[in-house]
Structure 1
Amino acid sequence: MTQQQALQEYLLRLADSDMILGQRLCELVGKAPALEEELASSNVSLDLIGQARNWYEYAAELIDDGRDADNLVFRRDTHDYRNLLMVEQPNDDYAVTIARQFFFDVWHYFTLKSLVNASDERIANIAAKAVKEATYHLRRSSEWVKRMGDGTEESHRRIQDAFDRLWRFTGELITPDETDHAMFKAGIGPDPEQLKNDWFGMVREVAAQATLTAGAEDAWMYMGGKHGEHTEHLGHILAVMQSLPRAYPDATTW
């Protein structure tokens, strides 16, 4: 894999993870437990989709095969997507939604914080704007984790169950592969070991404040999303998300 190919792959991972989680949060419109949370989830979704577009546009320029950002979103199949498995997991109850968001937000915040100093100026500029949004996202999700964990017996049980259920998808967030190592060596991506330490440090700190138990670092993990191997959930997400563009591929106005 050349550095150019690794960069394209890395950009798609960032974009796809943002886009799929944004789509998941869109599903909460009209279904969130409170109006304020519906608005908050919608705002986070819009932030993520906006960030995804910036990554897609850069990726499309580098790939240079005639596809634009919209083509990359709406004309790729599940095996072409490079998102983290965590973000495609269903919303289920709100504790699962919050736990999923929190695990992602910690990873996202530290990743973007590092990318601000990337040797690639385009990436650094996108990250500089995105990290401001990610800071709010992390503050919100961590506060909800603590509120649920240190709340009622029922809320504590639900958020602990959500932690236990989603923990098996967290390994992919902090387990580097060839692409991650290539980006670090190029002065673009974060130091994999530092990212792992930062992620575990914050997750365990918030879990302790929430009176929750985080999983073991050596627990068995689901992997593969970054290489196009996904759970059955992604196909259902794309079927909804891509239905209109695929039905009317030549449409330009509505």
Structure 2
Amino acid sequence: MDVSNDPLRTAELTVIGQVTTASNVTLVCEAEQDGPQPLRVVYKPVRGERPLWDFPDGTLAEREVASYAVSQALGWGVIPETVLREGPYGPGMVQRWVDTVEDGPELVDLVPVGEIAEGYREVLRALDPSGHPVSLVHAHDPRLLRMAVLDVLINNADRKGGHVLSGVDGRVYGVDHGICLNTEPKLRTVLWGWAGESIDDELLTDITVLVKALPGELGTRLSELITEEEVRALEVRAQGLLENPVMPLPSGARPIPWPAF
């Protein structure tokens, strides 16, 4: 594929804003392209990554790109197109911006206990900042289920509700995959509504394709972004789902990221 004229990869980035709620430096940029409007992207420079005790320093951008590669290999398109490239503040992750639905129902939400709408699954009950009992819920949506399975595969340690986007194109996207693909079990997610349930044959077929692709070009590409041990751990997790096609149950002291949004 000729990427020489792809603005996501090659166009100069102009910073127009910053996501101030993000843990790491997250900049909103525009890249010139053919057409009336510039391409909007998210740019996370490596130099803006906050050190973590359980992930090697300076590796979060590569993990974002590796997670995108896994999503693409599955054919699910859960993660917006993501690349590694130079930007105004050095190398980093650049990802296509997702235009989201403004007034539609939330895919992940907090609702008063006992007021769960049809088509939603309860994950847990807690107290909101005012002390009122609330339920953390998410939609029973096959697009969201794919995201939940992807999180198991990439060992996502930080699937918050705010990382789930409903695109104006009718698709559901997941963002913020910097702390994924560790060799140690670290799954923390708000998408526990399918825990303990069987995985559909259609999804298992896609996981089979992923497993078969790992010894080839996909594995080579991933090994340029994460360690060989982490690639192997991905293969083990995928093979484990094929051998026991059931969504895992929460385990450990922190199965849900906090804050959840």
The normalised TM-score by structure 2 is 0.31
Which structure: greater strand fraction?
Answer: 2
Which structure: greater helix fraction?
Answer: 1
Q: Greater relative contact order (Cα 8 A, min sep 6): structure 1 or 2?
A: 1
